[in-house]
Amino acid sequence: MLETIKNFVWSAPVVINLALFGVAVLIKTKGYTFFRLPSILKDTVFKIKKSRKSFAMMCTSLGGTIGVGNAIGVAGALTEGGAGAVFWMGIAGILGMAIKYAEIFLALTYKTPGIKSYGPMAYIEKGTGTKFFAVIYAFLCVCVSLGMGNLAQVKSAISAFDGIFSIPEFVLSGIIVIVFFRVVIGGIKKISSFSEIAVPVISLVYIFSLLFVLFKFRENVPNAIRGILSGTGLMTGVKWAVIKKGITSGFSKAIFSSEAGLGSVGFAHTSSDTDPHEQGKWGVVEVFVDAVICIMTSIAILTLSKEISGVPTSYMTRAVFAYSMGVWGEIFYGVSMTLFAFASLLCWFYNGSTAVEYITKKKSVSNFYCLLFGVIIFASAFIKDCVIIDLSDIANGVMMTMNLCCLWLILFKNTLTFNL
């Protein structure tokens, strides 16, 4: 029953709706996030000292998107859609950059000066003219933060060490919960301070490790690239059914990996007091980094496709590092996935905490939520197959649908004007 509902919530119309909104924003901005990408990177990544807080907020939000989902989700896209899925990941990245730019721009535009920022709830409430939908969105956000943002992340971190160290699962979850409380006790400032150091370092080390794999097996890379081009239909002899699978899996996995259209990007970014347009640029960078990691991971898997054939989908990325670096590769994978999962956990805790405060308007309830979040982290070691994650996926899909409906409404009202 839950699987049927989940498939309906995440069906093709949702993906098409998301893609169409991305195209609409590109048209509205005259392709700004795509054609001006080099300029955007120059104004952000190469000027971090001038926009330190904006960078910290981007890292916090980025921590919620990259990592565990990329490694497993990308492998799933290749299994379902073939090598051609990689090309459509790139297309999804282009649309995702436009969508996240719009979400951040709106969240800051509708932010009320002088009071706590509530991210996407601000433009949902003011865009629809009623608080009702914003409260429902906030409630769904809390559900997602406890499921996908907590339970799923911790279980993924624990499974990343499966077969490497014989450490009891409750010990690993116990360590995670101790570090979690140590960080979140300082609020968004402590979370962003941790993220602005940890997320870039983990991401860069992970990217350079993938570059090492590609260089070590560089003789296989041309075949991997040819496979990608062949799967897109750019080369003759490819059936439409194969191309369609590549589009469906590659596009959906990449767009959902970046969380573009979900609205969650507005939580962290609205903690910055930067101009909406300037902060929106960091959303473009966020999707760009996520897309680079997705595509590089895909090419690495395709490069070693023969060597890791027969490996279960969820272990493909781990197998790439293990084959390339031996036991140290497995250890690196386990550590990096744990750090990625922890960064995601921190981001989603902040999202959920902000949503709780929006609903109740009481800081004390947020403190209770923090305690509940910590309990679930530790309990993850004892929870096996659980419906919580499935329910979280459903809530995630409904969140995206609500957010997209609101974004379209604002667009049709012609109140979405970008100061480019």
The model's pLDDT over 254-295, given as tens digits with 9 standing for 90+, comes to 777 788 888 999 898 888 778 888 899 999 999 999 999 989
d(CA 234, CA 255): 22
What integer pLDDT is reported at residue 215 of this predicted model?
96
The pTM (predicted TM-score) of the whole model is: 0.91
Q: What are the pLDDT digits (tens) for 83-115?
A: 888 888 888 899 999 999 999 999 988 887 767
**Selected residue with higher pLDDT from 152 and 231:** 152
What is the pLDDT averaged over residues 242-261? Answer: 75
Distance CA 227, CA 305 (A): 11
pLDDT at 160: 81
201 CB-near residues (< 8 Å, 6+ apart): none
Q: What's the pLDDT score for residue 420?
A: 61
- pLDDT, residue 31, reads 92
Q: Which long-range contacts (CB under 8 A, 24 or more apart) does 44-52 make?
A: 44/281, 44/282, 44/284, 44/285, 45/285, 51/274, 51/278, 51/282, 52/196
pLDDT, the chain, mean: 86
d(CA 360, CA 378) in angstroms, rounded, equals 26
Q: What is the pLDDT of residue 121?
A: 92
For residue 304, the surrounding DSSP H or E stretch is none
- What are the extents of the domains in the chain? 2-412
pLDDT for res 126: 86
238: Cβ contacts below 8 Å, ≥ 6 apart? 84, 230, 231, 232
> Interior CA angle at 206 toward 322 and 222, to 5°?
70
The rounded distance, in Å, linking the Cα atoms of 218 and 223 is 10
| Distance in angstroms between the alpha carbons of the first and the last residue of the chain | 47
Residue 392's pLDDT is what? 72
Tokens of 317: 């990325």
Residue 383, classed as helix, strand or coil, is: coil
CA angle 370-198-255, nearest 5°? 80
Angle, helices 316-325 vs 68-81, to 10°: value is: 100
| CB-CB contact of 320 with 78 (8 Å) | no
| pLDDT tens track for 43-89 | 998 888 777 888 888 898 888 887 677 777 788 888 888 888 888 88
Largest CA distance in the chain: 63
Statement: residue 26 has pLDDT above 70: yes
CATH code for the part of the protein at 2-412: 1.20.1740.10
Query: Residue 374 and residue 371: Cα distance in Å, rounded?
Result: 5
Task: Name the token pair of 17.
Answer: 């709706």
Owner of token pair 């075949």: 223
